[in-house]
Amino acid sequence: MTLPTIGDFANRQSLEFKDPDDLQLVFVVEEKDTLDGWAAWEKSPVPAEYQIRGVGPVGLKVRRLNKILRTLTEIFHYKIVHQTDGQVILQSSQGNTFSELVIKEVDEPTERPGRGSIHHLAIRAKDEVELKHWDKLVRQRGFVSTGVVERYYFKSMYFRESNGLMFEIATDGPGFTVDSHIDHLGEQLDLPPALADRREDIAAQLKPIEGK
C-alpha cells in the first residue's frame, strides 16, 4: 500500500492513497451539515465521528472532457458546479456531495481491465420503468446498450461512452434485503441463485477485512 498524501480533492481536504490491489482511493472530509441524514452504524467499532458515511465523490480521468460532459449533462442532467482548466465537478439532481463526479482531462494511456482498475461506474434508477427510459435515451444518442439485465438484487443496463468508460444504470430494488434482514446485512455471504453452487469456492477466496 502506498503512503497517503494530503490533497485537495473536489475542493475539500482529502487523503489520497492506493490499496493493496493498487486501486486509487481518496478519503474526503465533509462538513457536519453535509452528513445530516447519514446515520452512523451502531455496531461499528469505529467511533461515529470517524466513520465513513458514504461513497463519493467519484474521480474520472478522460482524454476528451467535452465528450463526457455532453453525455452527463444532456442525458443524465448532471449540473456543472465548478470548472477550472482541465477539471470539472458535476452533481446529480440530488445535489449532495455523495452524488458528485470529479472529471479531469489527461493525456495518459488507457487503463486495462485488471488489478488497480475499475470496471464501471453505476448510476441509480428508481425502477425498471425508469431504467427502460434511460436505455431508450442512451440508444437514441448512438451508444450501444446491453439492454435490461437481470441481476437478482437489481436490474441494470450498461453502455460505454466515447472515452471508453463503462456506465451501468441499476434499479434500487429489490435490494440486498431479499436475502438478509437490514439489521444483519454484511454478517454473512449472500449470493444470487446463479452463483449458489459456487459458494464454497467464492468464500474460500475472500479475505477478511480487519480493522487496526
Q: What percent of the chain has pLDDT over 90?
A: 58
From 86, 80, 91, 29, select the one nearest 58 (Cα to Cα): 91
* 1/32 Cα distance (integer angstroms): 29
Interval 31-47 mean pLDDT: 76
What fold, for 119-178?
2,3-Dihydroxybiphenyl 1,2-Dioxygenase; domain 1 (3.10.180)
Interval 120-124 mean pLDDT: 93
Q: Which residues make beta-bridge pairs with 116?
A: none
**All 3 cell numbers of residue 192?**
444470487
What fold, for 56-106?
3.30.720
**What pLDDT, on a 0 to 100 scale, did the predictor assign at position 186?**
84
pLDDT-based confidence at residue 96 (cuts at 50, 70, 90): low
**What pLDDT, on a 0 to 100 scale, did the predictor assign at position 85?**
87
From 180, 16, 18, 11, select the one nearest 89 (Cα to Cα): 11
Q: What is the distance, to the nearest Å, from the Cα of residue 65 to the centroid of all Cα atoms in its chain? A: 19
Query: Is-contact 167 208, C-beta < 8 A?
Result: no
Burial class (CB in 10 A: 0-12, 13-18, 19+), 171: buried
pLDDT-based confidence at residue 95 (cuts at 50, 70, 90): low
User: Whole-prediction pTM value?
Assistant: 0.85
**What pLDDT, on a 0 to 100 scale, did the predictor assign at position 3?**
60
Residue with cell 437481470: 150
Mean pLDDT (the chain, rounded): 88
Least confident of 38-42, 117-121, 162-166, 174-178: 38-42
* 186/191 Cα distance (integer angstroms): 12
10 Å Cβ neighbour count for 107?
6
pLDDT-based confidence at residue 2 (cuts at 50, 70, 90): low
How far is residue 165 from each of residues 7, 41, 43, 55, 90, measured CA to CA in Å? 25, 33, 36, 19, 17
**What pLDDT, on a 0 to 100 scale, did the predictor assign at position 40?**
84
* 76/67 Cα distance (integer angstroms): 14
Give alpha helix (H) positions in the chain. 65-70, 128-140, 199-205
| Strand extents, DSSP E, the chain | 5-9, 12-18, 24-28, 58-62, 79-84, 87-91, 100-105, 121-125, 149-150, 155-160, 166-171
Interval 141-162 mean pLDDT: 97
Least confident of 52-56, 62-66, 92-96, 117-121: 92-96
Query: Structural domain boundaries of the chain?
Result: 1-29, 56-106, 119-178
Q: Hey, do 56-106 and 119-178 end up sharing a CATH topology, with the first three levels equal?
A: no
Of the spans 44-58, 108-122, 153-167, which averages the highest pLDDT? Answer: 153-167
Tens of pLDDT, residue by residue over 46-80, are 898 888 888 878 999 999 999 999 999 999 999 99
